[in-house]
Amino acid sequence: MTQLPSAAPTIATEPGQTEPAFRLVAVAIEARILSGDIQPGDTLPSETNLAETLGVNRSTVREAIRALEQNGFVRRETGRKKLFAAVPQSRDISRRLKTAMVLDHVTFEELWEAMFALEPAAARSAAQRRTDDDLAALDANLAQMRLALHDSDVLTDLDIAFHHLVALATGNRAIQAARLPISELFYPPFLAVISRLNAAERLLFAHEKIVEAIRDQDSRQAQDWMEKHIQDFQRGYELANLDMGTPAALPRAGHDKQ
Amino acid sequence: MTQLPSAAPTIATEPGQTEPAFRLVAVAIEARILSGDIQPGDTLPSETNLAETLGVNRSTVREAIRALEQNGFVRRETGRKKLFAAVPQSRDISRRLKTAMVLDHVTFEELWEAMFALEPAAARSAAQRRTDDDLAALDANLAQMRLALHDSDVLTDLDIAFHHLVALATGNRAIQAARLPISELFYPPFLAVISRLNAAERLLFAHEKIVEAIRDQDSRQAQDWMEKHIQDFQRGYELANLDMGTPAALPRAGHDKQ
DNA sequence: GCGGCGATTATCGTCGGACAATAAAGTGCG
DNA sequence: CGCACTTTATTGTCCGACGATAATCGCCGC
């Protein structure tokens, strides 16, 4: 029933300027999703249908859809035609934050400092709230890592996964959202250094200590070990004689794992 | 010279599926901006021009532009026609992250825990790196707050500004990006509680202590006082008998609350 | 010469219609 | 009931058009 006002400006947006129709269409569709009129996962009406319903041209609807796609309110499975409603996920937004930080020439030092604040807090919280499933996932990660101590690439992925699992165990989505983009920029290059220094065992040891503390629900120990662990990254960087002042770059081809 | 391949798939995107033209156009324009071919702040060619240059229809260009707008690569000043190139700012992305967290029903407790990790770290870093300008801004904020101890709304704005200034003083854009969306969800409702408890003086006192430590470049003190300050928010919430488990909402005027 | 003002041009927002490709839906057959 | 085949619906793209209005140009008077 959400109809676009054809003549009367019922949806008077703050500015005196008349909002372009494609934006009104976008917010109209967005509103339908947010109100639950269209549930996430539902397929949206066809463009023609939307155009008729909203009283605008199909081109206008298409422009609105392009915007909604970027905002994460609708998504289309590759190769499929049907459009599905969705709700923006902080995971999707993380990608943009990463590029924004890279374009802003954020340095490794800045990333490190942020991780030094977030990761120990995450470990502490994880120790308090972890479920048995969280623990099992962490154990599995440790097991895999023991088998991959030689393989630098796999090690990197496993390390990122490890810290992600710790964050998941917190159950805290604010912390998860805050650390995700930083983490994805931070770990790859640092881990490259670590493996060059043959410090994989040291890495694994720290992870084991952290998991142990999380298992025992010893938040103090979890925090402390994570703190040491993050400090180790910095130490490794200095040992390798690299400059923490260099801007971060986007890591190699992203893995799309569903 | 960035020309869209009309027949030869020079820009072969990973998937076997052919990418729609509007996406290719979007990445082409994006590439021009990232490469510096078009500097941020420059005006983009007209839609017609772009369409001709890229060998596609204007409608296709428009769809691409809608996507680029959302991504922060181009922006149009309200009421103006000319399109300006830009670079995505984490500040802009913060808004999206906020809505994503709200839609995900992130609780105050989660926000608080994240702030408890970030704010003390920011204070510590600010104490180490603050410039005289940072200090002057903080002092100005304190002065304003002394005059607004009675006005709840102004107080809220000043408090948010204060913590933002501390974050700015760190010079750490990763921390800034991480805390911004959380901060904007966190402070308004908490401050509503604070002012209801007539705890404005206590708030000001903490701010003064933090600024003092930052002035003295005493990172330990800055961190400690900020930690206490954040803990105070929680205490206030409990004193007011409110549930930290309630999901956060977007701070927006005109909410129908009964 | 130069700043302001009206005329001119360019550009945007929107519309209507069209068509090929192909996903989705329907149909019939074994 | 499953599968191949046909039909329909939908998307992606193009073309052309028009009103509104920024942006630009050119003229005029100071």
Instruction: Centre a 10 Å sphere on the Cβ of residue A103 and count the other Cβ atoms it contains.
Output: 19
pLDDT for residue A117 is more than 60: yes
Which residues in 54-83 of chain A line strand C, with CB less than 7 A from it? 55-60, 63, 79-82
CB contact under 8 A, B103 and A34: yes
What angle do helix axes A152-170 and A173-196 make, rounded to 10 degrees? Answer: 160
Mean pLDDT of A9-18: 47
The pLDDT assigned to B252 comes to 63
Report the residue of chain A nearest B62, measured CA to CA: A63
Question: Rounded to 5 degrees, what are φ and ψ at B231?
Answer: -60, -35
Nearest to B119 by CA among B200, B227, B228, B203: B227
CA atoms within 13 A on the CB side of A204: 19
The pLDDT assigned to A231 comes to 94
CA atoms within 13 A on the CB side of B69: 21
Residues 6-65 of B with CB under 8 A from A: 15, 17, 22, 34, 59, 62-64
pLDDT averaged over every residue in chain B = 88
Judge whether residue B21 contacts strand D, using its CB and a 7 Å cut-off.
yes
Reported residue count of chain A is 258
Query: Which residues 6+ apart lie within 8 Å of B2 measured at CB?
Result: B28, B31, B32, B37, B53, B54
Residue of higher predicted confidence among B253 and A60: A60
Question: Do B118 and B165 meet the contact criterion of CB atoms below 8 Å apart?
Answer: no
Tokens encoding B10: 């020079």
Reported residue count of chain B is 258
Report the residue of chain B nearest A79, measured CA to CA: B17
Looking at the complex, does the CB of residue A181 fall below 8 Å from at least one CB of chain B?
yes
Mean pLDDT of B59-75: 97
> What end-to-end distance do the CA atoms of chain B give, in Å?
60
DSSP string, B186-253: HHHHHHHHHHHTT-HHHHHHHHHHHHHHHHTT-HHHHHHHHHHHHHHHHHHHHHTT--TTSBP----S
Mean pLDDT of A132-158: 92
Whose C1' is closest to the CA of A81: which nucleotide?
C23
pLDDT tens-digit readout, B72-106: 999 998 889 999 999 999 999 999 999 999 999 99
The pLDDT assigned to B1 comes to 38
Torsion angle in degrees (nearest 10) through CA of B138, B139, B141, B145? 140
| % of chain A at pLDDT higher than 70 | 91
The pLDDT assigned to A192 comes to 80
Candidates A92, A93, A113; nearest CB to B125: A113
pLDDT for residue A136 is more than 80: yes
pLDDT tens-digit readout, A228-257: 999 998 888 888 888 889 999 887 654 443
pLDDT tens-digit readout, A188-209: 888 887 777 778 888 999 999 9
pLDDT tens-digit readout, B216-241: 999 999 999 999 999 998 988 888 88
Q: How confident is the model at residue A17 (pLDDT cuts 50, 70, 90)?
A: low
Most confident of the ranges A66-75, A185-194, B187-196: A66-75
Candidates B64, B92, B97; nearest CB to A90: B97
pLDDT for residue A151 is more than 90: no
Structural domains in chain A plus CATH codes: 21-85 (1.10.10.10), 91-239 (1.20.120.530)
The pLDDT assigned to A9 comes to 35
Looking at the complex, does the CB of residue A103 fall below 8 Å from at least one CB of chain B?
yes
